[in-house]
A and B are shown apart, each in its own frame.
Chain A
Amino acid sequence: MSVSLRHWPWATTIVVASALALGTSENASSYCEYSRVAIEEGQVWRLWTSSFVHFSESHLVWNLIVCVALGSWVERRAPRELRAYLAIAPTVVSGVLYAWESYLETYRGLSGVAAGLVVVTVWVLLLDGKTKEAVALAVLLGTKVGIEFVSGEPLLADFGNTGVTPVATAHLVGAATAFVVCCASGLLARRRKRRIQTDVNPFDHGNREGI
């Protein structure tokens, strides 16, 4: 029981449950969405909560499908990395939007976080030796983020005439945050491996003294 609970993707569950709980309710959104004016007035929690509120059911559903599918799998394979990423990503995405998109008044949505989940998935697939699948995912995300960033127009995302503009920067920032988390994790793992090798080396001066 304890083993299964330990492997339970609780971070993904919290993210998904939060998004479902807040849903598309205008009442919840008025307290949780990214609002430049409100953040400037001191409501800094919006930097974290803005990712969990959405504009419409379809906006929520498609973001959640990606998060559930990738998050639940990745969290079992690389729990520390995913949890670290999920803890910081919403704030980093909103923070960068605050710094870069000075004319963005309000923002909602989980896609920035979802874009980063794809990066973590690619990293785990690469560690598993599934290069083809990792490359396919990376190309799909890279094409979307690259075209969006260069052209400044969102790719494969449209809100019609609702007055809502998909924000391409959020995807780029989410992906970049996940990349940094994966790189940091890789560096830590390498350092740990080196330390273990040094500890078990029988010719190591320190070990000989110990023996």
Chain B
Amino acid sequence: MRFSPSRLQTLILLLSAAGLVLALTSCSGPRFRRADRTSSIVEYLYPGVTNPLAPTALPVLHLPLRVGVAFVPSANGPHPYGSSTTISEMQRAQLLQRVAHAFEGKDYIAAIEIVPSTYLRPAGGFENLEQVRRMLNLDVVALVSYDQVQFTDQNRLSLAYWTIVGAYFLDGNKNDTQTLMEAAVYDIASHQLLFRAPGAGRIKASSTLLQVDERLRSDSGQALQLATDDMIANLRMQLEDFRERMKTAPDTVAKIERRPGYTGAGAVSRWFALCLVGIFAWSQRRPLRRAMS
């Protein structure tokens, strides 16, 4: 097969153009990407079980309750943006502190423990929760899970990425971050779900091609904060609702048993009494002197 010189010239020109297009396209990256970060309660509590059976026994709650707050461990693979597949430990700690704060000040809650993430193993199930219960002496646990999906797509401004300079200055990427969080409160002994509180957060933003990863990380944090705010507001409502249900229809929610109460005393210690009497005697010094003289 022979090519005439003019045909050969045309072929070389076409191949060069195709190569250039390919090179530029690879420079600007894929037009659409999606990333998921998930920690699922179902995967953690019922690993490998397709149809988990709901427990039938009525939970027995010993008031005041000792509550644990824990983050469901994630079992994700590597993240497409090269960042961590899960949210950072610092973010987790802050989030759990806020969830724990929502439980404070309730007379039916005796203590709130934040369960360290190292205590829970991926797909640990209720067996793992039982271990935690024994270690920290808990009655119920609030398991916090999340599902975050991030999309990044290119808009018309991304055409400017072909100029290379455009990739630095023009926001040709539109990002969408959606986060769903949930706090599910379980009675560990009976495996019963007592109540749940969901929360959602969404952040839409745009960025240049070069800043897309940084922007997505920032959006991830912000969406998580929004979802947490929403979840905490719902959690407070659910706690109040749970309290009302326990009062109005105790036998349908759980069997309530009160722990033996404590013995208290009104006592002033010897140090406090001596200080008081000392100051009082000092206040009487003048009349005493006068009386003696």
For the complex formed, measure the closest distance between the CB of B268 and the CB atoms of chain A, giving whole angstroms: 5
A176 at the interface (CB under 8 A from B): no
- How far is it, in angstroms, between the C-alpha of A108 and the C-alpha of B279 when the chains are bound? 27
Pick from B45-53, B122-130, B269-277 the stretch touching chain A.
B269-277
For the complex formed, measure the closest distance between the CB of A141 and the CB atoms of chain B, giving whole angstroms: 8
Majority SS at the chain B contact face: mixed
- How far is it, in angstroms, between the C-alpha of A119 and the C-alpha of B110 when the chains are bound? 32
CB atoms of B269 and A62 under 8 A apart? yes
- How far is it, in angstroms, between the C-alpha of A62 and the C-alpha of B279 when the chains are bound? 16
B266 at the interface (CB under 8 A from A): yes
Q: Which residue of B lies closest to A167 (CB)?
A: B264
B267 at the interface (CB under 8 A from A): yes
- Give the bracket for the number of chain A residues in contact with chain B: 35 or more
A146 at the interface (CB under 8 A from B): no
- How far is it, in angstroms, between the C-alpha of A130 and the C-alpha of B107 when the chains are bound? 42
Pick from B13-21, B67-75, B171-179, B254-262 the stretch touching chain A.
B254-262
Residues of A within 8 A of B269 (CB): 62, 156-158
CB within 8 Å of B: which of A97-127?
A: 97, 101-115, 118, 121, 125
Majority SS at the chain A contact face: helix
Contact residue among A69, A114, A144, A159 (Cβ-Cβ distance under 8 Å from B265): A159
Residues of B within 8 A of A4 (CB): none
For the complex formed, measure the closest distance between the CB of B284 and the CB atoms of chain A, giving whole angstroms: 8
B3 at the interface (CB under 8 A from A): no
Interface centre among A66, A112, A171 (most CB of B within 10 A): A66
CB atoms of B280 and A137 under 8 A apart? yes
Q: Which residue of B lies closest to A105 (CB)?
A: B261
CB within 8 Å of B: which of A76-98?
A: 93, 97
CB atoms of A103 and B262 under 8 A apart? yes
Contact residue among B259, B271, B276 (Cβ-Cβ distance under 8 Å from A70): B276
> Given A103-B64, A103-B261, A156-B272, A109–B280 Cβ distance below 8 Å?
no
Contact residue among B263, B270, B283, B284 (Cβ-Cβ distance under 8 Å from A58): B270
Using CB atoms and an 8 Å cutoff, list the residues of chain A in contact with chain B.
36, 51, 54-55, 58-59, 62-63, 65-66, 69-70, 73, 93, 97, 101-115, 118, 121, 125, 130, 133-134, 136-137, 140-141, 144, 154-159, 163-167, 170-171, 174
6 A-B pairs whose Cβ atoms sit less than 8 Å apart in the complex: A62-B272, A105-B261, A108-B265, A114-B266, A115-B268, A167-B265
